[in-house]
Amino acid sequence: MKRWTSSVAFGVALAAGVAGGVLAGLASASASPSPATTQAAPVAPVVPAGPSPLIYPGETIPIKFDHAMHARAGATCEGCHSSAQTSTAAVDNLIPGEAACRSCHKIDRTQPAKSVPKGEAPARCDACHADGNTGTLEGSPNPPATGPAGQSPTGSHAINNGWMPTAGLGAEPPRVVLARPSLKFNHQLHATRGIACALCHANAAVQGMITRVDLPMMASCLGCHSGKQSTGRCGACHLTEPDGRLKVKLATAATGAAGGSGLLEPSGSLRGIDAHGPTFRRDHAQAGRDESYCLSCHRRSECTDCHGGVVKPPDIHPADYVTLHVADARRNVPDCSSCHRLQTFCVGCHQRTGVSSDPSGGLPGTRANNPFGTGTQIKQFHPPGWARDTTGAVIATPRPASHSVQAKRNIRTCVSCHREESCLECHSSDPTRGANFSPHGPNFGATARCRFLASRNRRACLKCHALGAAELDCQ
C-alpha cells in the first residue's frame, strides 16, 4: 500500500471541513452583532451535575422564598434586586434586604407573629426566615433538590422550618451567607446592553427557591461569549493572575471536603478533549492543539518540565524504565520523540552504556569487543540474518529477519543507536565504499518524493551520490 493514498482522501476530507469552517468563521465574523442577536438564547447544553464549588463556593440560605409565586404576583427582578442594575463585580451582594421586602410585607419587628388580612403579604418572621438548621449548602456537590418548575417548594424543600424570635424581641434570625464567587461579572454592563435577567436566570421566574445550583454555568455564558457576539477570552469571566493567566488555585475547605483538588481544571464542557481526566497527563496531544488555550492557565515551564527530558516523570516512566524501555521504544508507545531527541539523547546514552557498539560506523557485530558477550560467546544485539547470513556474506535480498524490513517500518529504533554513517557503509553509491545497495524502492526516480526532495535539499542526496550523477535529477 502506498502510504499516501488514503492519506490524500483523509487530508482532503479534513481540509474541506476546515475550509468550510474557516469560511463560516469569516462570514460570521464579518457581521457585527445586533441588539437582537445578543438576545439569542444560549444553546441548551448537557452539563455536569451542579456548578463547580470552586467557582460558586458554599452558601447558607436560611430563607424561605418562592421566586415563582412572587413573579406570578407581579414582582419584577429589578423591583427586589435593584442593586443588580449597577453592580460591576460578581462579589457584590445582590440579595435584597428587609427594606426591599417591606414594600409589600408589612413587617413589624415588635410583632413577630403579626397577622395580616387575607390577600396581603404575610408579615410573620417565620413566613420568610428559616431556622438555619437546614438549608446549609456548604459547597456540597449534592445540594437539596429544588421544587419542580412552576410550583412552590414549600412542604417539599429542605428549608421549611420557620424561625421565630424565641429568645425574645431583638433576636436576629440566621443570616444569609454567600461566599465570594471566583468569577468576574458585571451586571451593569450586561443590563445596559439590554440583556434580560431571564436570559441567564431562566429558572427564577418558574422555580421556588433559587440556590447556587441555579446560577448560570459556563455553557450558558458561551451562548454569547463565543467570540462572535462577545469575547470568548477566558479571562473575561475567570479571575486572572497579573500575567493574564487564569487563577487556578482556588482551594477552599469546602472543596477539599467534597473531594476536589482545589485546582480549577477544564471539565470538558468547552472542548471535550480538554477534560483533565485520569489519563490526561499521558494523552493531552489533542488538547495541546491550541497552545494559546493551554497557556491561558499554564506556564510554559510546565511544558518544558516534562518535555525537556531531564527529570523522569514516574507516572510516565515506571520504576527501572531503563530496562523496560526496550519494548516501548521499539513500538514507540509512548512517543519517545515528544521528550527526547533520538540523535542526541538516545545515541549518546546508548553509546556511553555500550549498547551501541560501533562508533566507527561499521556493520554491527564486526567488532571484537562486542558488548553482548565476549570471545566465542559473542551475542549480537540484532538477530541472525539481520545484515549478514551465516557465511558472513551481506544479505542482498529481502528476508523476514533482515534489517531492511525493520528500517522501513520503524527507522526511529535504528536512529536511537546509529548515525547516518552506519547506513552509508553499504548504501552509498560511492564505488570506493563497496556494497552500493540501493535503499530506494522500485521506480523511486519517477516518484514525486524523489523530485520534491531533490529540488529542495540536494545535500541529502549528495551524502550517497556523487556530484553530477544522473540519479541526482531523479533519472
Partner 1 sequence: MPRPAVLLGLVICGLSAPAWGYDFSIDLRTIGQGYQVRGFAPDGSNELLSRRRLTEYLDLSVSDIGSGAWHGDDGGRNLITFEASLRFDSDFGGYLLGAPSGAAAIPELQQSEFDILYAVLVGRNIAGRLDFQLGRQLHFDLIDLYAFDGADALFHLTPRFAVEAFSGTEVRGAMPLSSPIYELDGTSAGSRDPATRPDQNAELRPLAGVALVAGETGAPFSARLSYRRMWSDTADRQPGEPESGVNQELVALTATAAWRSRVYLSGGVRYNLLFAEFDDEQLALRVRLTPRQWLTLEHDYLAPTFDGDSIWNIFSTGAYRDLRASYEIGLPRGVKAYARAFARFFLSTDDEIATTGPYAGQDVGAAAPGGRTAGGGSLGAAWRRGRGLLRADGYWDDGYGGRKIGVDGTARFQVRPPIELEGRLTGYAWRSDLQPAVTGSGVVFGMQAGGRFQVGKGQHLHLLVEDNVGTYYESQFRGLAMFEVDASI
Nearer to partner 1 by Cβ, of 131 and 389: the residue is 389
Stretch that binds partner 1, among 51-59, 72-80, 100-108, 407-415 (CB under 8 A): 407-415
According to CB under 8 A, which residues from 34 to 93 bind partner 1? 43-49
Stretch that binds partner 1, among 5-13, 76-84, 117-125, 204-212 (CB under 8 A): 5-13
Alpha-helix residue ranges (DSSP H) falling in 264-310: 291-294, 300-307
According to CB under 8 A, which residues from 159 to 188 bind partner 1? 184, 186
According to CB under 8 A, which residues from 435 to 454 bind partner 1? 439-442, 448-449, 451-453
Nearer to partner 1 by Cβ, of 93 and 338: the residue is 338
Strand ranges (E), 267-348: none
The CA distance from 253 to 177, in Å, is: 16
Confirm if 452 and 442 have CB atoms less than 8 A apart: no
Identify the DSSP state of 279.
T
Nearer to partner 1 by Cβ, of 150 and 354: the residue is 354
CB of 197 to partner 1, least distance (A): 21
CB of 273 to partner 1, least distance (A): 5
Task: Report if residue 249 touches partner 1, rule: CB under 8 A.
Answer: no
Stretch that binds partner 1, among 65-73, 145-153, 164-172, 258-266 (CB under 8 A): 258-266
Task: Report if residue 345 touches partner 1, rule: CB under 8 A.
Answer: yes
Total residues at interface with partner 1 (CB under 8 A):
176
Alpha-helix residue ranges (DSSP H) falling in 236-299: 253-257, 291-294
Query: Concatenated DSSP letters for 110-125?
Result: T-TT----TTSPP--G
The binder of partner 1 chosen from 106, 161, 410, 473 (CB under 8 A) = 410
The binder of partner 1 chosen from 361, 394, 436, 469 (CB under 8 A) = 361
Other CB atoms within 10 A of residue 159 CB: 24
According to CB under 8 A, which residues from 84 to 113 bind partner 1? none
The CA distance from 265 to 247, in Å, is: 11
Q: Please identify which residue in the block is written with the cell numbers 427564577.
A: 204
Nearer to partner 1 by Cβ, of 12 and 171: the residue is 12
Nearer to partner 1 by Cβ, of 5 and 166: the residue is 5
CB of 82 to partner 1, least distance (A): 23
Q: What are phi and psi of 249, to 5 degrees?
A: -90, 100
The binder of partner 1 chosen from 177, 196, 316, 460 (CB under 8 A) = 460
Nearer to partner 1 by Cβ, of 201 and 225: the residue is 225
3-state secondary structure of 49: coil
Stretch that binds partner 1, among 99-107, 128-136, 151-159, 289-297 (CB under 8 A): 289-297
What's the gap between Cα 463 and its chain centre? 44
Nearer to partner 1 by Cβ, of 165 and 262: the residue is 262
The binder of partner 1 chosen from 150, 288, 434, 445 (CB under 8 A) = 288
The CA distance from 180 to 91, in Å, is: 5
Task: Report if residue 202 touches partner 1, rule: CB under 8 A.
Answer: no
Stretch that binds partner 1, among 95-103, 116-124, 168-176, 376-384 (CB under 8 A): 376-384
Q: Please identify which residue in the block is written with the cell numbers 460591576.
A: 88
Convert residues 229-248 into a mask of x (bound to partner 1 by CB under 8 A) and - (unbound).
--xxxxxx---xxxxx----
Nearer to partner 1 by Cβ, of 179 and 273: the residue is 273
According to CB under 8 A, which residues from 303 to 342 bind partner 1? 303-305, 307-311, 314-315, 318-320, 322-324, 326-333, 337-342
Nearer to partner 1 by Cβ, of 176 and 303: the residue is 303
The CA distance from 463 to 439, in Å, is: 13
Other CB atoms within 10 A of residue 37 CB: 12
CB of 196 to partner 1, least distance (A): 21
Measured CA distances, 31 to 26, 39, 232 (Å): 9, 16, 17
Q: Which residues contact 127 (CB under 8 A, 6 or more apart)?
A: 64, 105, 162
The binder of partner 1 chosen from 74, 117, 278, 431 (CB under 8 A) = 278
Start-to-end CA distance of the chain, whole Å, equals 24
Confirm if 434 and 397 have CB atoms less than 8 A apart: no
Torsion on CA atoms 333, 337, 341, 342, rounded to nearest 10? 40
According to CB under 8 A, which residues from 110 to 149 bind partner 1? none
The CA distance from 449 to 436, in Å, is: 21
The CA distance from 90 to 394, in Å, is: 77
User: What cell does 436 get?
Assistant: 552500493
